[in-house]
Amino acid sequence: MSTEIESVLIENRVFQPFQNLVEGAAISGMQAYEALCDEARKSPDAFWDRLARENLVWQKPYTKVLDESEAPFYRWFGDGQLNVSANCLDKHLNTPTANKTALIFESDDGKVMTVTYKALHARVCEFANGLKALGHKTGERAIIYMPMSIEAVVAMQACARLGIIHSVVFGGFSSKSLQERAVDVGATLVITADEQVRGGKAIPLKAAVDEALAMGGCEAVRHVVVYKRTGGAVQWQEGRDVWMHDASANQPAECEPVALDAEHPLFILYTSGSTGKPKGVQHAAAGFLLWALLTVKWTFDSKDSDVFWCTADVGWVTGHTYITYGPLAAGLTQVVFEGIPTYPNVGRFWEMIQRHKVTVFYTAPTAIRSLTKAAESAPEYHPREYDLGSLRIIGSVGEPINPEAWMWYYTNVGRERCPVLDTWWQTETGGHMITPLPGATPLKPGSCTLPLPGIEAAVVDESGAEVGRGKGGFLAIKRPWPGMIRTIWNDPERFKKSYFPPELKGYYLAGDGAQRDTDGYFWIMGRIDDVINVSGHRLGTMEVESALVAHETVAEAAVVSRPDATTGEAIVAFVVLKQTLPAGEDADRIAKMLRDWVAKEIGPIAKPKDIRFGENLPKTRSGKIMRRLLRVVAKGETVTQDVSTLENPAILDQLSQAH
Ligand code: 6R9
């Protein structure tokens, strides 16, 4: 990196761990944390070997922990065999967990259904037997395109049981995206639902599958299995289409888990790269499972008495690791929610935490920010109106959480008695990488704090050399870890190029900018391509956003750069105010006030050249702000890119109206 990223975000608040969470924690106190880190550093193989033996049930023990001979195509526990579904379900059968509630499902309209571990095991076995009866086998690929449901978990687990590699496509994606993924994985099976229900509206899924398959290229698909969610009308292709309940009917409630090689792909999950088509991130059975389970135990310090709620959709990696696999492998009771946080009102999350006595709550900054805004305008649904006393840990994932949002979450949801865990990780990392531990790590709002034991994170320059404390650079991971991406499906070259560029000495390149403070804490500064260079000063977009959001009038902000003749790049800020959309002189006045505010908060170099107001920001359906599109708008150009994955495409027009 030619110029260092200048970080001028100053956050001095430190929150020590709560004593009641330190006592009895899986990793209790910083000394225990350091001891584990030392164990991993001294002998990584022995460390991972111990954990893989202690935490996983093997059908055939491995003899080699890590094979680096074809790096970066690492192989973990390569000659061992196990079954992921057996590790999530069968493992609990002869224990008290068998009769414990595994899933508490709450539908969009508030109906609650629960299923025990024993019952979930039976449902997974019946469905796996059904898939076998349809002729589907180990190694085939299945597309799963389902709403949040017990059935979605059953479908994923049944695939894992048979060694059918699943690729879950988020239910909000278009038929075109679905078709592209089905073609790329060479799917032979699609598992879907008639419709999904969100915010009181039924949205067809089966029809989108029909459309996708009609586009061609998916001739290998032999069956479309359909979960009847609403009973809405569907077209039916005899011979190809099968109801999920028919597939499971009269099947035995026992299905031998297939002993799979540790490196057998468990799933492929598509994620956007900075350019080009989405990448099919491939994860391996044993390593992924180990990391999912360990991070549930370490980060969430899971207890048998927990009621765990991760609000993600199974269409994203967070739903894979922290709904379908990790919490089940840990034997937890968890909430699965079909709907959205704003229906029937903006108090839905808080009401559900109260109703189900949730102890660990894990959500995304975008949800926190929008609920902050909502709570201001609808005080009757403010979290303070609910009994959130069951909570002991609250977490965040998906984007940097700015100190303002962090403090709101900490104060209003955690009631100053729950740590906020800002967990940094990616689809590619399989599970948490840099995160606080509830019983050990002192917290700083806006920092994801320190790497987990076994994870050697560093901030490096373009030659792979570590940069000094307080200096910005590329976030990199120096040693392989079991939960890491194995390859990009069908594109090993792209895997090498994207994540292990030769100049980085074999380190895994995360694609995020970061810096470490004097305590060694990590501060994520957004994607590398979100770094702005103004007059030779590099600034993380996140810092400017944090400053804007810290202003009392601002609900949400996104900052991008635009080429500028004098300064190289200029900062353009897109701002959502807590009040209604301003116009004319009012807008000019607020823009000036915010510019001055940023100048005061960070320094004149960070002053946005242009501030645009909108009622919202363009977001993907997983809630990530599409800065790529904002960059186009900032340049005054027309968006010609595909906007089909946007939650709210109309917002682009509003933001394009230069003010
Ligand atoms: C789990 C997930 C990964 C990208 C990642 C980073 C951003 C995620 C973050 C965070 C700052 C955090 N990100 N968690 N940035 N602090 N706690 O979100 O996976 O969808 O692959 O996104 O999200 O930019 O590189 P994925």
ipTM of the complex as predicted: 1.00
338 is a domain residue: no
What is the number of structural domains in the chain?
1
In a domain, 554, yes or no: yes
The answer as to whether 557 is a domain residue is: yes
Does the annotation flag 222 for ligand binding? no
- The answer to whether position 546 is within a domain reads yes
Closest ligand 1 atom number to CA of residue 423: 17
Give the per-residue pLDDT at 100: 98
- Does a structural domain hold residue 394? no
Percent of the chain with pLDDT over 90: 79
Q: What is the pLDDT of residues 551-585, one digit of tens each?
A: 999 999 999 988 887 777 889 999 999 988 999 99
Q: Confirm or deny that 424 is annotated as ligand binding.
A: yes
Ligand 1 pocket residue status of 423, Cβ below 6 Å: yes
Q: Is 397 in the pocket of ligand 1 (CB under 6 A)?
A: yes
427 is in an annotated binding site: yes
Task: Say yes or no: CB of residue 512 within 6 Å of ligand 1.
Answer: yes
Residue 402 near ligand 1, beta carbon < 6 Å:
no
What letters, b where the CB count within 10 A reaches 16 and e where it falls short, cover 69-78? eeebebbbbb
556 is in which domain, residue-wise?
Answer: 531-655
CA angle 41, 47, 52 (to 5 degrees): 150
Q: E strands, 66-119, where?
A: 66-67, 75-76, 81-82, 101-106, 112-116
Q: Is 535 annotated as a binding residue?
A: yes
Sign, CA dihedral 144-428-297-409, equals negative
> Annotation-wise, does 398 bind a ligand?
yes
For ligand 1, say whether the CB of 210 is within 6 Å of any of its atoms.
Answer: no
Nearest to 302 by CA among 50, 597, 55, 623: 55
pLDDT in the model for residue 9: 58
pLDDT at 4: 46
pLDDT < 50 positions in the chain: 1-4, 274-276
Q: In whole angstroms, what is the distance from residue 455 CA to residue 479 CA? A: 7
Question: Is residue 413 in a domain?
Answer: no
Cα gap 532→92, rounded to integer Å: 51
CATH number of residue 631's parent domain: 3.30.300.30
Return the ligand 1 atom nearest residue 396 CA: 17
Cα 362 to averaged position of ligand 1 atoms, centre (Å)? 14
Distance from Cα 512 to the centre of ligand 1, integer Å: 9
Q: Answer whether residue 145 is part of any domain.
A: no
Domain contains 584:
yes
